[in-house]
Amino acid sequence: MASKKFQRRKENFVCAHCSQKVTGNGYTNHCSNCLWSKHVDVNPGDRAEVCGGLMKPISFAGNSRQYYVVQECQHCGRRRRNKLAANDNLAALFN
């Protein structure tokens, strides 16, 4: 059975890339410090992806209404974009 397109999951986690403690709000899908995440979802929040690789921030996209970080899985090469949050460290995109 296919999962819903979006499932809200309020989860705290420790970033697998920089070890920052991240407090989730149900929409959090990446570390606000380094902008990395883990490839764990097929659809947001479903935790159905078996890859589990780290998702590296490679660029950003968007317009004045909404910006996104574009990430690439270091294991399988899949690219995804995720909404940037107000507390994200945008300087991490340029490191």
- Cβ proximity of 27 and 8 under 8 Å: yes
Q: Please state whether the predicted TM-score (pTM) of the whole model is above 0.85.
A: yes
54-62: strand order across its sheet: 37-38, 54-62, 67-73, 79-83
Closest of 71, 74, 83, 73 to residue 28, by C-alpha = 83
pLDDT (0 to 100) of residue 2? 55
Q: How many angstroms separate the CA atoms of 16 and 38, rounded? A: 8
- Cβ proximity of 61 and 67 under 8 Å: yes
Q: Where are the domains of the chain?
A: 13-94
Map residue 92 onto helix, strand or coil: helix
Q: How many angstroms separate the CA atoms of 61 and 30, rounded? A: 16
User: How many C-beta neighbours within 10 Å does residue 34 have?
Assistant: 19
pLDDT less than 70: residues of the chain: 1-4
pLDDT (0 to 100) of residue 27? 84
